[in-house]
């Protein structure tokens, strides 16, 4: 089906959603890299290994922390922030700029993983000005996708 | 009751307090930290002396370095590609 998110495309999808995401890597349940974006192919294996190490260290740290098993982690260092999120099937880690908003980045991680697992596709909007510039033909189908607030543009699936 | 008006010294002191608070907040925000979230989204701070804290920071620093190195390597390639482009390289 067109538009279905594949594991290979998932890291790129996350980086497209957020301007603060610099690179991302997706691991499968066995910890093997399933997709990578933002680093040279020669370095993608190293990034995957580091993402795997992150959750190993999180699980070790969790023994001292009350509450359920961690599902997401946020690590702020001098020159950036690393966010990672996991489900029973996938682990997605992203290297972001320090300016990234934690709540938005964690939400994007959850949304992208949800979409990968067959959940609701993420709806993105095009600015009204950009939509007008493309000169899209006015059809009933296009009208059905129009936002109830025209100033906000049309929604993309 | 109406608040007593501040004089020039009081206003300057208030301004200095505000600047100091901003600097303190910015320093606090820059400090390395590790947060873990459970499935409900509840955040917990991994204490600096906690198990795994140091390793998590080192791993994250290495990940950021890796992306930095990758971008530095990619830049000359992009510049060469732009120079080679017949229209002057506008992307």
pTM of the shown model: 0.73
Mean pLDDT for A120-126 is 70
- The upper half-sphere exposure of residue A150, i.e. CA atoms within 13 Å in the direction of its Cβ, equals 3
- Structurally, chain A folds into a number of domains equal to 2
Average pLDDT, chain A: 84
Is position A95 within any domain?
A: yes
Residues 6+ apart with CB under 8 A from B36: A58, A61, A62, A65, A70, A72, A73, A74, B43, B44, B46
**B48 touches A at CB < 8 Å:** no
Residues of A in contact with B68 (CB under 8 A): 79
According to the model, what pLDDT value does residue B31 have? 85
- The confidence band for B7, taking pLDDT boundaries of 50, 70 and 90, is confident
Is residue A134 located within the same domain as residue A67? no
- Write the CATH number for A81: 3.30.450.30
The per-residue pLDDT for range A41-61, each reduced to its tens digit, is 889 999 999 999 999 999 888
In-domain check, residue B43: yes
Q: Which residues constitute the domain of residue B37?
A: 8-84
Residue A70 and residue A137 in one domain: no
Residue in A48, A70, A109 to test binding to B, most B beta-carbons within 10 Å: A70
Residue A132's pLDDT is what? 61
- pLDDT tens for B21-39 read 888 877 777 789 999 999 8
Within this chain, do residues A151 and A101 fall inside the same structural domain, yes or no? no
Q: Which structural domain, as residue segments, surrounds residue A55?
A: 10-122
Is the pLDDT assigned to residue B90 strictly greater than 70? no
Residue A3 contacts by C-beta under 8 Å, 6 or more apart in sequence? A121, A157
B34·A80 Cβ contact <8 A = no
Asked if residue A73 lies in contact with residue A62, where contact means CB atoms within 8 angstroms, the answer is: no
The rounded distance, in Å, linking the Cα atoms of A26 and A144 is 34
pLDDT given at position A123: 72
């Amino acid at each position: 089906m067109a538009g279905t998110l594949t594991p290979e495309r998932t890291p790129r999808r996350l980086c497209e959603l957020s301007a603060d995401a610099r690179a991302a890597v997706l691991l499968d349940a066995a910890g093997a890299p399933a997709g990578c974006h933002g680093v040279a192919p020669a370095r993608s294996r190293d990034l995957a290994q580091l993402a795997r190490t992150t959750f190993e260290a999180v699980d070790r740290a969790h023994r001292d922390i009350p509450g359920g098993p961690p599902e997401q982690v946020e690590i702020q260092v001098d020159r950036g922030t690393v966010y990672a999120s996991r489900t029973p099937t996938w682990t997605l880690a992203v290297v972001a700029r320090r300016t990234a908003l934690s709540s938005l980045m964690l939400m994007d991680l959850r949304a992208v993983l949800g979409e990968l697992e067959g959940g609701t596709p993420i709806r993105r909007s095009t600015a009204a000005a950009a939509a007008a510039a493309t000169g899209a033909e006015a059809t009933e189908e296009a009208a059905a996708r129009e936002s109830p607030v025209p100033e906000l543009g049309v929604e993309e699936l | 009751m109406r608040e007593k008006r501040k004089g020039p010294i009081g206003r300057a002191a208030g301004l200095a307090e505000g600047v100091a608070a901003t600097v303190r907040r910015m320093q606090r925000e820059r400090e390395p930290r590790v947060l873990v979230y459970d499935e409900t989204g509840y955040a917990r701070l991994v204490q600096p002396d906690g198990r795994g804290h140091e390793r998590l920071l080192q791993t994250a620093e290495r990940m950021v370095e890796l992306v930095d190195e990758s971008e530095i390597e990619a830049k000359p390639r992009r510049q060469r590609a732009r120079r080679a482009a017949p229209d002057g390289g506008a992307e």
